[in-house]
């Protein structure tokens, strides 16, 4: 009853085609650059730059090809009975770590109310797994949990436990639950503290698990919600408008070796327990110690044990929240960077499926790719210093000067190709959304196209800044250093100019030095490097501006036009729980929601 995946030959053919197209683009860029460099004679720096552009273009092309493949089909549900009675017992795991309990636990109340609204007799419990280290927050967690249980009539369905120490962080938290209580459940929905899922989605995930006994993990595609800042809304639009197409391409290529993104997914408890026990890696951090990006590893281990790991991108009703500013994004990225680089120790683990190894390699490449671009830019600035001066009189005794042919057309072709790889997939996604009617959810075809162009402009502005943060993260991990971030932002995510400057003055300095060096050593390159250099110099302003609230309809997403039911429920519970007069003691007993308590 599994999804009608392409045959094994078809799957390998698709992967081969994607790799071949990417290689073709990379080799094309390599060849063009060699011709460009050959105008004044090839030297070692030209060849180095050509190799760097080969790797960088290959990486860009891989992403573009993924989107192009995703554009060829539409997400569809696997073959299963969406009304089948549910036999197994499920627990929704909500790991928390120093989060605000009112905000987090009100999500649980909203999801429970959503489940109750489905009037399905399935047994679905909730377990809040606290790794909170701050005693005051832990005390509030217990009080808020009591309120949650009282409101949702949750005795026997809601559980709370706090670990004495948070060994292994989130992976250790889940493992602790399984070794303590795993035998009580058939399935576990794993969430993050900021996850929200419709009850109907949870029930369909359980039915899909029951319909396919070999399915070990089912991942949904969560949409980012509640973004307010310019940066947050750009990310939200991108996740809602572009990501489903990229994910479709990924889903088509991965077969039964799908991804796990750590949350908004369901696992078969027995499969997870027997396959995903994670020991600490040999040696000390950053490469040794506990596995940081455990989700990728768990997906690979399930696949190694021949369990199906699947991304069901047709399932809606799955939400998460994202960072509201570039600093928070970079902080999160710093953790992910260390986790992904740590996978270099796991990529050679015995018995892994080749696609799992490839996924690890992709994850590593995602963080080291900026280094190749930076290397290319640095080499381009230095190149004129070692290039021989042009020889206008190569023929002895010939009275007329010889002007070498201009190779600017090759450089322009290369630039068009690289920008094409960046822009084309997004433009095509917008065009298809206009044709298929998907754009209606984003305010109509015209607004969706305008939002796409706006997102492209916004990401062009922020890309050099993010590139610098990613580069710093990689270097810090390699040197075993900590991030060293300035003070936290305000509650709404907006950054002050001072904090923005503190977080990015080093990017400004590098931008100034880079453009200064270009002006001195390679003035002909200055115009080419301005799109990278100017955003770097303006980094503090970009951080500050992008963290402030966005107004207007540009980059609207469907969840803003029509608030999803579970989000509306959460808003209502949160508003009630946050009201000054609503102290937990004042809570009347019994459920307060119109829906009866869920089974």
Partner 1 sequence: MTAYLFPDAADAAEAVEARALAPTALVAGPCALPVAPMAMPPQVIEPRTGLIRRLIAALLPQRPAAPSAGAGA
Least distance from partner 1 to the Cβ atom of residue 360, Å? 11
Toward partner 1, which CB reaches closer, 277 or 531?
277
Toward partner 1, which CB reaches closer, 11 or 301?
301
Asked if 225 and 236 count as a contact pair (C-beta separation under 8 A), the reply is yes
Least distance from partner 1 to the Cβ atom of residue 96, Å? 13
Least distance from partner 1 to the Cβ atom of residue 273, Å? 5
Cα–Cα distances in Å, from 581 out to 141, 374, 576, 585? 18, 55, 9, 10
What single DSSP character describes residue 84? P
Toward partner 1, which CB reaches closer, 395 or 585?
585
Peptide bond preceding 286 in cis form (omega within 30 of 0): yes
Which of 329, 239, 234, 103 is CA-nearest to residue 549?
Answer: 234
Toward partner 1, which CB reaches closer, 287 or 485?
287
Toward partner 1, which CB reaches closer, 8 or 282?
282
Toward partner 1, which CB reaches closer, 549 or 584?
584
Toward partner 1, which CB reaches closer, 28 or 88?
88
Burial of 144 (0-12, 13-18, 19+ CB in 10 A): buried
Least distance from partner 1 to the Cβ atom of residue 135, Å? 13
Query: Rounded to whole angstroms, how far apart are CA atoms 197 and 477?
Result: 34
Strand order in the sheet with 215-219: 158-162, 123-130, 89-96, 187-190, 265-268, 215-219, 308-311
Toward partner 1, which CB reaches closer, 444 or 584?
584
Asked if 141 and 233 count as a contact pair (C-beta separation under 8 A), the reply is no
The tokens describing 581, both together, are 């007069």
Pairing of strands 196-197, 318-320: antiparallel
Binding site for partner 1 (CB under 8 A): 87-89, 127, 142-143, 145-146, 149-150, 153-162, 175, 177-186, 269-270, 273-279, 281-282, 291, 297, 301, 345-346, 348-351, 584, 589
Least distance from partner 1 to the Cβ atom of residue 121, Å? 13
Toward partner 1, which CB reaches closer, 64 or 297?
297
Helix axes 101-118, 199-211, angle to 10 degrees: 70
Backbone CA torsion sign across 242, 246, 248, 251? negative
Query: Rounded to whole angstroms, how far apart are CA atoms 431 and 497?
Result: 38
Toward partner 1, which CB reaches closer, 145 or 246?
145
Toward partner 1, which CB reaches closer, 162 or 576?
162
Place of tokens 């094409």: 420
Least distance from partner 1 to the Cβ atom of residue 163, Å? 11
Cα–Cα distances in Å, from 487 out to 468, 501, 503, 533, 581? 20, 12, 9, 26, 32
Least distance from partner 1 to the Cβ atom of residue 180, Å? 6
Least distance from partner 1 to the Cβ atom of residue 587, Å? 9
Residue 267, helix vs strand vs coil: strand
Which of 460, 473, 484, 476 is CA-nearest to residue 538?
Answer: 460
Least distance from partner 1 to the Cβ atom of residue 341, Å? 14
Least distance from partner 1 to the Cβ atom of residue 595, Å? 16
Backbone CA torsion sign across 510, 513, 515, 518? negative
Least distance from partner 1 to the Cβ atom of residue 265, Å? 18
What single DSSP character describes residue 279? P
Least distance from partner 1 to the Cβ atom of residue 599, Å? 9
Residue 351, helix vs strand vs coil: coil
For residue 110, the number of C-alpha atoms closer than 13 Å in the C-beta half-sphere is 27
Question: 195: Cβ–Cβ under 8 A, 6 or more apart, which residues?
Answer: 94, 107, 222, 263, 264, 318, 319, 320
Toward partner 1, which CB reaches closer, 530 or 599?
599
Length of the chain: 599
Give the number of other Cβ atoms within 10 Å of residue 537's Cβ: 19
């Amino acid at each position: 009853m599994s999804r009608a995946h392409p045959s094994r030959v078809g799957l390998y053919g698709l992967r081969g085609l994607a790799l071949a197209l990417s290689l073709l683009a990379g080799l094309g860029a390599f060849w063009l650059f060699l011709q460009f460099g050959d105008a004044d004679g090839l030297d070692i720096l030209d060849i180095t730059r050509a190799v760097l552009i080969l790797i960088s273009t290959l990486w860009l092309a891989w992403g573009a090809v993924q989107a192009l493949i995703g554009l060829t089909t539409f997400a569809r549900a696997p073959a299963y009975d969406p009304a089948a009675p549910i036999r197994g017992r499920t627990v929704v795991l909500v790991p928390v770590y120093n989060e605000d309990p009112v905000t987090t636990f009100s999500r649980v109340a909203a999801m429970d109310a959503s489940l109750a609204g489905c009037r399905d007799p399935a047994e679905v419990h909730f377990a809040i797994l606290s790794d909170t280290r701050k005693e005051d927050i832990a005390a509030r967690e217990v009080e808020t949990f009591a309120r949650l249980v009282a409101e949702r009539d949750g005795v026997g369905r809601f559980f709370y436990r706090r670990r004495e120490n948070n060994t292994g962080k989130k992976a250790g938290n889940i493992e602790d639950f399984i070794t303590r209580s795993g035998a009580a459940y058939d399935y576990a929905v794993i969430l993050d503290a900021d996850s929200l899922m419709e009850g109907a989605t949870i029930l369909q995930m359980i039915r899909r698990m029951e319909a396919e006994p070999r399915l070990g993990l089912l991942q949904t595609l969560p949409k980012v919600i509640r973004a307010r800042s310019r940066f947050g809304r750009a990310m939200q639009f991108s996740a809602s408008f572009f990501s489903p197409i990229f994910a479709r391409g990924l889903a088509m290529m991965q077969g039964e070796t799908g991804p796990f993104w750590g949350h908004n997914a369901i696992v078969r408890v027995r499969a997870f327990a027997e396959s995903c026990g994670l020991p600490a890696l040999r040696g000390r951090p950053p490469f040794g110690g506990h596995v940081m990006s455990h989700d990728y590893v768990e997906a690979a281990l399930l696949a190694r044990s021949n369990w199906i790991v699947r991304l069901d991108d047709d399932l809606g009703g799955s939400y998460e929240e994202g960072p509201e500013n570039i600093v928070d994004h970079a902080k999160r990225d710093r953790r992910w960077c260390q986790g992904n680089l740590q996978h270099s120790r796991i990529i050679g683990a015995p018995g892994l499926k080749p696609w799992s190894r490839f996924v690890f390699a992709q994850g590593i490449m995602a963080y080291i790719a900026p280094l190749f671009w930076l290397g290319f830019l640095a080499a381009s600035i230095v190149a004129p210093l070692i290039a021989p001066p042009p020889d206008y009189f190569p023929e002895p005794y010939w009275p007329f000067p010889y002007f070498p042919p201009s190779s600017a057309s090759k450089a322009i072709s290369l630039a068009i190709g690289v920008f094409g790889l960046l822009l084309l997939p997004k433009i095509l996604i917008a065009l298809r959304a206009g044709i298929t009617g998907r754009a209606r959810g984003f305010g109509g075809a015209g607004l969706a196209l305008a939002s796409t162009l706006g997102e492209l402009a916004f990401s062009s502005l922020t890309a050099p800044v993010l590139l610098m943060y990613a580069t710093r993260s990689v270097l810090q991990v390699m040197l075993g250093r900590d991030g060293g971030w300035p003070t936290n932002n305000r509650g709404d995510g907006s950054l002050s100019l001072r904090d923005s400057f503190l977080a990015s003055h080093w990017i400004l300095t590098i931008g100034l030095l880079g453009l200064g060096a270009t002006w001195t050593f390679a003035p002909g390159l200055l115009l080419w490097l301005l799109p990278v250099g100017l955003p770097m110099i303006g980094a503090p302003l970009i951080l500050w501006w992008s963290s402030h609230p966005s107004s207007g309809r540009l980059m609207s997403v469907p969840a803003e036009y029509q608030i999803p039911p579970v989000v509306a429920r959460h808003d209502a519970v949160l508003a009630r729980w946050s009201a000054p007069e609503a102290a937990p003691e004042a809570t009347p007993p019994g459920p307060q929601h119109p829906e009866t308590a869920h089974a």
